[in-house]
Amino acid sequence: MIDNPLSVDFCDLTFKTPIVLLSGCVGFGEEYTRIDGFSMSAIGAVCLKGTTGEPRLGNNPHRVYETPAGMLNAIGLQNPGVETVIQTILPELDFDKTCFIANVSGSTIDEYEHVTRLFDQSPVQAIEINISCPNVKKGGVTFGNDPDMSARVVAACRCATDKPLITKLSPNQTDIAENARRCIEAGTDGFAVINTLMGMAIDITTRKPFLGNKQGGLSGPAIKPIALLKTHQVYQVSKNHNIPIIGQGGINSADDALEFIIAGATAVGIGTALFYDPLICHKINKGILAYLKQHSISSLAELTGSLDRY
């Protein structure tokens, strides 16, 4: 065993563990540190809350609805705007404890580029671009569901930063592997696979949607089989270019995390599970370590993509 078998290399960054706290689930990171029993030693990186050029109030309530095997959310990218995040929030984060990844959202390519350029001048170690936002200049068509538009966003952000660029791919598209290929050509350094699936829930008493936005993103255990398949599909494209993947979607145990790593993920994202077990990251790390010891595997790198070897 090496000194830290949980350590992974992701886009030339060293994560102490493979666990990444997903954007929108822990605010801007500092909120999670107030939980009794939590230690940043369990975390490889934190994806900050989605940030836009100007402040956004988000969607009307209700914004969250629990489903039998997960959660629907329609927050609407509520955030204080990129300048406030950089000037007020980032100085309060401890960059010696873990890696912090900015999450960039926008309604136009120009907005993506602008926010990315500002984060490039900040202390964040990497930038994730959420291409599941609707392009207002294209009548609300989501960037991430169109390979051409996805590639254009990635190319614009690539020109705006030298920091590692991670593209968060949408599952709500025809061919996620083709989208990944186009994003690689445009200059992405890594992927986050997948974002939420779109869904809704209806109150049969009022005959109205539970969410104020009518529809929202479905996360949690219900989407895990889909996320696992999408991760493996993207890995088939990314492995030849040494593009790492954060596998995410319904992970709530060490076994779940190991499945994603075997399917091709270098790191794993934890989100919805934090809502009902804030200390789950410690348990997942413990389970992964036990698995590595049981199978005499010295590092997670040996396990990544091992599904292809059998």
CA 278 to mean position of chain CA atoms: 17
Question: Which residues contact residue 285 at a Cβ distance below 8 angstroms, ignoring those fewer than 6 apart?
Answer: 6, 17, 19, 42, 254
What would the mean pLDDT of 282-298 be, rounded to a whole number? 97
Query: What are the pLDDT digits (tens) for 92-132?
Result: 999 999 999 999 999 999 999 999 999 999 999 999 999 98
Which pLDDT value is given to residue 1?
A: 46
Task: Look at strands 64-67 and 13-15 and give their pairing.
Answer: unpaired
Q: Where are the beta strands (DSSP E) in 200-240?
A: 202-203, 208-209, 216-219
**Torsion over CA of 44, 49, 51 and 57, rounded to 10 degrees?**
180
Which pLDDT value is given to residue 31?
A: 77
Q: Is residue 159 annotated as part of the catalytic site, yes or no?
A: no
Query: What are the pLDDT digits (tens) for 236-265?
Result: 999 999 999 999 999 999 999 999 999 999
Q: What is the pTM of this model?
A: 0.96
Selecting from 3.20.20.70, 1.20.1630.10, 3.40.309.10, 3.40.640.10, what CATH number does the domain 8-59+77-201+218-309 have? 3.20.20.70
Q: Which neighbouring-strand residues pair with 267?
A: 246
One-letter amino acid for residue 148 of the chain: D
What whole-number distance in Å separates Cα of residue 30 and Cα of residue 15?
18
Q: Where are the beta strands (DSSP E) in 136-265?
A: 141-142, 165-169, 190-193, 197-199, 202-203, 208-209, 216-219, 245-248
Residue of 133, 157, 183, 281 with catalytic role: 133
What whole-number distance in Å separates Cα of residue 209 and Cα of residue 67?
13
Phi, psi of 218, rounded to the nearest 5 degrees: -90, 130
Domain ranges, ordered by start, for the chain: 8-59+77-201+218-309
pLDDT at 199 over 60: yes
What whole-number distance in Å separates Cα of residue 113 and Cα of residue 102?
13
